[in-house]
Amino acid sequence: MVVDDEKRLVSLVESYLAQEGFRVITAFNGREALNNAHKEEPDLIILDIMMPEMDGYEFLETYRKDHKTPIILLTARVEEEDHVIGLDLGADDYVTKPFRPRELMARVRAVLRRAGELEPAAKVLSVSDITLDRESRSVKVDQHYVDLTPSEFDLLAALMSAPGRVFSRLDLLDIVQGVRYEGYQRTIDLHIKNLRAKIEPEPRSPRYIETVYGVGYRFARENSS
pLDDT tens for each residue of 110-167: 888 777 655 556 688 998 889 999 889 999 999 899 998 888 898 999 899 889 989 9
Amino acid 120: pLDDT: 55
- Which domains, and CATH codes, for the chain? 2-115 (3.40.50.2300), 124-223 (1.10.10.10)
Q: Which residues pair with 46 in a beta bridge?
A: 2, 72
**How much is the mean pLDDT over the chain?**
86
Three-state DSSP state, 11:
helix
pTM assigned to the model? 0.56
Q: What is the pLDDT of residues 81-99, one digit of tens each?
A: 877 888 888 888 888 888 8
Q: Which of 25-29, 98-102, 183-187, 200-204 has the lowest mean pLDDT?
A: 183-187
Calculate mean pLDDT across residues 47-66.
Answer: 91
User: Binning pLDDT at 50, 70 and 90, where does residue 35 land?
Assistant: very high
| Of 105 and 80, more confident | 105
User: How far is residue 170's CA from residue 179's CA, in Å, rounded to a whole number?
Assistant: 8
Give the residue from 108, 112, 66, 61 showing the smallest Cα distance to 87.
61
